[in-house]
Amino acid sequence: MSIEIISIIVLFLSFFILLMLKVPVAYSIGISTTISLLLNIDKLPGITTIAQRMTTGIDSFALLAIPFFVLAGEIMKRGGIANRLINFAKSLVASLPGGLAYVNVLASMLFGAISGSAIAATSAIGSIMTDRMEEEGYPRELSASVNITSATTGLLIPPSNILIVYALASGGTASVAALFIAGYLPGILLGLAIMGYVAFIAITRNFTKGERVPLPLIFKYFRKAFFSLLLLVIVVGGIVAGIFTATEASAIAVLYAGVLALIYGDVSVKDFPAILLASSKTTAVVMFLICTSMAMSWLFSFEGIPELISSFLLEQFSNKIIIFLLINLVLLIIGTFMDMTPAVLIFTPIFLPVVTELGMHPVHFGIVLVLNLCIGLCTPPVGTILFVGSGVANVSVSQVVKPLLPFLLIMVIVLLLITYVPAISMFLPGLFGL
């Protein structure tokens, strides 16, 4: 057995052992990469290669957008925007059967898109909506399930930090602008699919309707939410129009969100040190994950793992439908135990050559990859949104799992549709010439 094969086995084995020992993901990636690298030390300048790759891994202008978008999301989370979006969503759909559940979905979609964070959407919307839904007869575990799954739409609908990470991992074959535009229809489709299942539950369980909101009141709530919603237009519109880059757009988002929060009066100047500290902690975690993931990704390339997997799949399976299904299955499994950021950075270089060889556009694959990992965020054992959503709703994870299963099935169905119908992802980029 060659030293390359041995190092690959050691890499994966040590990584999974460390994960099972509950070592944090970033440390697991870094340690397993270092151990594997030591087996090839005679081929490399030295152990400092790891430090060099970690440093150069985040030496990217595009990544500067992440701390800015994280800061913008933190400002919005504390700036009273969630309540305004909930009231606007409620005025639109609360009169339908199961209306408050629709409000939960719609508000999560809007807030998740504006903040760029599924966790922020889960905590901000869930903390408000769960109690309101319980007052009208909705079980708390059902409210949590709706909140958990709908919050993932914000990772597809721009601006989305994980799409920026994928653009980096794709080596420039997928632009941030194209990914942002491509995420709209899949994100909306996922939200509508969740609403469809909510409608089925509402009719079968005879949930109450809310009162129809008069048109003048709808416009009133829209006016209050207008400037929050305008952020999406400014950020994405500016990027697509070529007025500014994604990184510049993130800085504009911070400035806009800060001014808006101060005008609304929900945040004062003295609150900003705490907001900066919270966003700095989040950014540090994300950047450390990117550092170690980029080092592992480089090692994969050094060992020729992408080429090995690509040639194996293309030789063993002639049907691209089967190959796409296998890749989705692998990514779904990966998503259950690995955070999105390292998963994107590690597995994009492995699977992107395979799917592009079979005719899938890199932008299309980016949307498929992110949706796969979104499902993983909602599942045990390490589903971040699952634990946040359960904690916010004050119910145990075991209580949420049963009502959550049908929603996860809906997400998988949408995933398959997006995988095998490229137009869902590629129509808008094609329309804008991206």
Co-location of 18 and 131 in the same domain: no
Co-location of 27 and 160 in the same domain: no
CA angle 425/153/174 to nearest 5° reads 40
Find, among 196, 203, 254, 301, the residue nearest to 75 by Cα: 254
**Structure tokens that stand for 304 in this block:** 């020729």
3-state SS record for 108-163: HHHHHHHHCCHHHHHHHHHHHHHHHHHHCCCCHHHHHHHHHHHHHHHHCCCCCHHH
Co-location of 31 and 165 in the same domain: no
- The verdict on residue 56 lying in a domain is no
What pLDDT digit, counting tens, does each position of 29-52 carry? 888 888 887 776 666 656 677 777
pLDDT-wise least confident of 72-86, 238-252, 405-419? 72-86
- Under a CB-based contact definition with an 8 Å cutoff, are residues 352 and 362 in contact? yes
What pLDDT digit, counting tens, does each position of 143-168 carry? 888 888 988 888 888 878 888 889 88
Residue ranges making up the domain that contains 220 = 61-431
Which residues lie below 8 Å from residue 199, measured CB to CB, with a gap of 6+? 96, 97, 98
Find, among 349, 15, 301, the residue nearest to 165 by Cα: 349
Co-location of 147 and 193 in the same domain: yes
Res 3: pLDDT: 59
Report DSSP letters for 24-50, one per residue: -HHHHHHHHHHHHHHTTGGGSS-THHH
Query: Does the pLDDT at position 15 exceed 90?
Result: no
144: left (phi over 0), alpha (psi -120 to 50) or beta: alpha
Query: Does the pLDDT at position 141 exceed 60?
Result: yes
User: Longest C-alpha distance within the chain, in Å?
Assistant: 75
Res 270: pLDDT: 85
288-317: buried (b, 16+ CB within 10 Å) or exposed (e) per residue?
bbbbbbbbbbbbbebbebbeebbeebeeee
Share of the chain above pLDDT 70, in %: 93
Query: Does the pLDDT at position 53 exceed 80?
Result: no
Res 389: pLDDT: 82
Res 333: pLDDT: 84
Co-location of 35 and 147 in the same domain: no
- The verdict on residue 320 lying in a domain is yes
Res 300: pLDDT: 74
Q: What is the mean pLDDT of residues 217-240?
A: 80
Find, among 143, 68, 140, 71, the residue nearest to 105 by Cα: 143
Query: Does the pLDDT at position 272 exceed 80?
Result: yes
**Number of other residues whose CB lies within 10 A of the CB of residue 218:** 15
- The verdict on residue 218 lying in a domain is yes
Co-location of 88 and 119 in the same domain: yes
- The verdict on residue 342 lying in a domain is yes
- The verdict on residue 53 lying in a domain is no
Co-location of 272 and 243 in the same domain: yes
- The verdict on residue 90 lying in a domain is yes
Co-location of 146 and 40 in the same domain: no
Find, among 221, 243, 218, 220, the residue nearest to 233 by Cα: 243
pLDDT-wise least confident of 12-16, 76-80, 403-407? 76-80
- The verdict on residue 221 lying in a domain is yes
Co-location of 91 and 68 in the same domain: yes
What is the spatial distance between Cα 275 and Cα 284, in angstroms, rounded to a whole number?
A: 14
What is the spatial distance between Cα 200 and Cα 357, in angstroms, rounded to a whole number?
A: 41
Which residues lie below 8 Å from residue 20, measured CB to CB, with a gap of 6+? none
Co-location of 131 and 8 in the same domain: no
Find, among 13, 240, 210, the residue nearest to 97 by Cα: 210
Query: Identity (one letter) of the amino acid at 387?
Result: F
- The verdict on residue 388 lying in a domain is yes
What pLDDT digit, counting tens, does each position of 299-340 carry? 777 777 777 777 777 777 778 888 899 889 888 888 887 778
Res 110: pLDDT: 77
Co-location of 109 and 205 in the same domain: yes
Find, among 345, 293, 357, the residue nearest to 54 by Cα: 293
Which residues lie below 8 Å from residue 380, measured CB to CB, with a gap of 6+? 336, 386, 397, 401
Domain count, the chain: 2
Quickly state the pLDDT bin for 381 (edges 50, 70, 90): low
In 279-422, beta strands by DSSP E: none
Co-location of 42 and 69 in the same domain: no
Res 210: pLDDT: 64
User: 92-101, 294-303, 344-353 — which one is most confidently predicted on average?
Assistant: 344-353
Return the higher-pLDDT residue of 402 and 126.
Answer: 402
Which residues lie below 8 Å from residue 257, measured CB to CB, with a gap of 6+? 72, 75, 76, 79, 231
Quickly state the pLDDT bin for 297 (edges 50, 70, 90): confident
